[in-house]
């Protein structure tokens, strides 16, 4: 069985669970609990362990999608999965107080992974909160990952077509970076 | 050519295109938006076209008003020069994608994703892009024309040719298999 692990990361409330549900072919396994951190995100529940979904390519190959818990106190869960991952979709809620700081924080937290793995950044609620603009997100990524062309896309995680497009962009980036990139090691 | 030049002018201007038989389009490069005829209604090759520039008002259009400019520039860039090199591009240069376009603004975006990913991974000319993304050289040139018009490419005159590695055993061809699985081709 060939398996490809994709991580879906981002702050609490960015839409990770929703995005996985939008593309998974199997019922998504979620581990949620009552949200006790209303100051960070005004939602009733939040993921405390993992969300899991998958896409079966055929009987021998599948894409495993893992949604990482957004709260930093569950950071140890990130490390468990990151070694097996080939790529990451990082979701950012543009309506939060400082999305660019969120972006910088996650790029730093996953710096080791991002030296070998590929990344797509999905900016959620971009229609509701026009600022910061996509160009500002792109500038943060360019500063942290110089020489890389990372897809930074407005994304509605409820829209399966948009979310699939983000996933396809990630897969294409993984393959083209492995085939063409002269600045990074082959994953 | 006019759009390419205006987008590089230091002072802010609006660009008005009058397409005979179809109506006007006003482009505000600062906000990345345009007002006027929808892309879907535009002719691939208009019979007649006039172009004017106007001083831009002090404040750009608010985000959310107007249509995304990416879709319009993609359409113009992929049609204006046919499969020839855009006039501002130099033979021999290689191009690298420094910023992805808004995919939702591009028709059949899933077809373009591997092309964009190839240009993001290495500086390529049209022939190299065609080989890497498995598309025709003509389509590769149209794509480079469009992305350049959109201001998403940087040219690298001295970039060495890429030395493609064979696809890794782990993921080689996964994009194509997933695309087929999702019913996208």
Distance from CA of B1 to the nearest CA of A (A): 24
What's the pLDDT band for A17 if we cut at 50, 70, 90? Answer: very high
Q: What is the tally of structural domains in chain B?
A: 1
Contacts of A165 in chain B (CB under 8 A): 103-104, 109-110, 113
What pLDDT, on a 0 to 100 scale, did the predictor assign at position B149?
Answer: 93
Res A142 pLDDT > 60:
yes
Confidence of residue A40 (pLDDT cuts 50, 70, 90): low
User: pLDDT digit string (tens) for A170-183?
Assistant: 999 999 999 987 65
- Residue B37 and residue B22 in contact, taking contact as beta carbons nearer than 8 Å: yes
What's residue A36's pLDDT?
Answer: 64
Collapsing DSSP to helix, strand or coil, A112 comes out as helix
Domain that holds residue B14: 2-79
Residue B100 and residue A172 in contact, taking contact as beta carbons nearer than 8 Å: no
Q: Can you spell out the DSSP letters for A108-163?
A: HHTHHHHTTSEEEEEEETTTT---S-HHHHHHHHHHHSTT----EEE--TT-HHHH
Which chain B residue lies closest to A62 (C-alpha atoms)? B178
Lowest average pLDDT, out of A66-70, A94-98, B131-135, B143-147, goes to: A66-70
In a domain, B61, yes or no: yes
A151 interfacial to chain B (CB closer than 8 Å): yes
Contact A153 B167 (CB under 8 A): no
Cα–Cα nearest to B119, from B104, B129, B127: B129
pLDDT of residue A67 exceeding 90, the answer is: yes
Residue A17, H or E segment:
helix A16-23
Residue B22 is assigned to a structural domain of this protein: yes
A9 pLDDT above the threshold of 50:
yes
Residue A161 distance to chain B (closest CA, Å): 10
Put simply, whether B97 touches A (Cβ < 8 Å) is yes
Predicted confidence band of residue A75 (pLDDT cuts 50, 70, 90): confident
Strand bridging mode B13-19 / B23-28: antiparallel
C-beta of residue A139 within 8 angstroms of C-beta of residue A108: no
The average confidence (pLDDT) of chain A is 87
pLDDT for B123: 94
- For residue B8, being part of any structural domain is answered with yes
Q: What pLDDT is attached to residue A186?
A: 46
Q: Band of the pLDDT at A124, cuts 50, 70, 90?
A: very high
pTM for the model? 0.86
The model's confidence at residue A187, banded by pLDDT at 50, 70 and 90, is: very low
Does residue B13 lie in a domain region? yes
Q: Residue B23: which region, alpha, beta or left (left: phi > 0; alpha: psi -120 to 50)?
A: left
Assess if residue B142 is contained within a domain: no
Question: B161 — contact with chain A (CB < 8 Å)?
Answer: no
Q: Note whether residue B44 is domain-resident.
A: yes
- Asked if CATH classification 3.40.30.10 holds for the domain at A2-180, the reply, yes or no, is no
- Going by C-beta distance under 8 Å and a sequence separation of 6 or more, which residues neighbour residue B91? B85
Instruction: Give chain B's residues under pLDDT 50.
Output: 169
Residues A144-155: what's their mean pLDDT?
A: 93
Q: B175, A63: Cβ pair inside 8 Å?
A: no
Looking at residue B12, what is its pLDDT?
77
> Greatest CA span in chain A, whole angstroms?
46
State the ipTM, two decimals: 0.86
The Cα A151–Cα A172 span in angstroms is 11
CA distance B118 to chain A (A): 5
**Confidence (pLDDT) at B10:** 67
């Amino acid at each position: 069985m060939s398996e490809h692990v994709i991580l879906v990361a981002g702050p609490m409330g960015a839409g990770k669970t929703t995005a996985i549900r939008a593309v998974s072919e199997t019922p998504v396994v979620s581990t949620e609990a009552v949200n006790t951190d209303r100051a960070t995100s005004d939602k009733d529940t939040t993921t405390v362990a993992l969300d899991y979904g998958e896409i079966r390519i055929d009987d021998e190959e599948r894409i495993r999608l893992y949604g990482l818990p957004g709260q930093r106190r569950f950071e140890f869960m990130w490390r468990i999965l990151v070694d097996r991952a080939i790529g990451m979709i990082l979701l950012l809620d543009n309506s939060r107080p400082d999305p660019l700081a969120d972006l910088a924080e996650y790029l730093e937290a996953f710096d080791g992974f991002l030296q070998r793995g590929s990344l797509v950044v999905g900016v959620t609620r971009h229609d509701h909160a026009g600022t910061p603009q996509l160009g500002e997100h792109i500038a943060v990524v360019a500063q942290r990952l110089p020489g890389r062309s990372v897809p930074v896309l407005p994304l509605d995680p409820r829209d399966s077509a948009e979310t699939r497009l983000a996933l396809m962009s990630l897969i294409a980036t993984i393959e083209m970076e492995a085939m063409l990139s002269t600045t990074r090691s082959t994953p | 050519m006019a759009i390419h030049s205006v987008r590089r002018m230091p002072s802010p201007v609006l660009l008005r295109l009058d397409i005979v038989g179809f109506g006007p389009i006003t482009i505000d490069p600062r906000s990345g938006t345009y007002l006027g005829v929808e892309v879907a209604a535009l002719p691939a090759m208009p019979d007649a076209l006039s172009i004017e520039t106007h001083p831009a008002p002090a404040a750009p259009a608010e985000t959310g008003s107007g249509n995304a400019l990416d879709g319009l520039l993609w359409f113009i860039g992929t049609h204006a020069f046919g499969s020839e090199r855009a006039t501002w591009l130099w033979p021999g240069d290689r191009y690298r994608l420094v910023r992805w376009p808004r995919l939702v603004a591009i028709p059949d975006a899933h077809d373009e994703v591997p092309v964009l990913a190839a240009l993001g991974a290495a500086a390529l000319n049209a022939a190299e892009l065609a080989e890497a993304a498995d598309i025709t050289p003509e389509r590769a040139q149209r794509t480079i024309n469009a992305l350049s018009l959109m201001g998403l490419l940087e040219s690298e005159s001295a970039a060495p040719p890429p030395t493609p590695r064979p696809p890794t055993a782990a993921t080689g061809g996964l994009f194509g298999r997933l695309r087929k699985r999702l019913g996208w081709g």
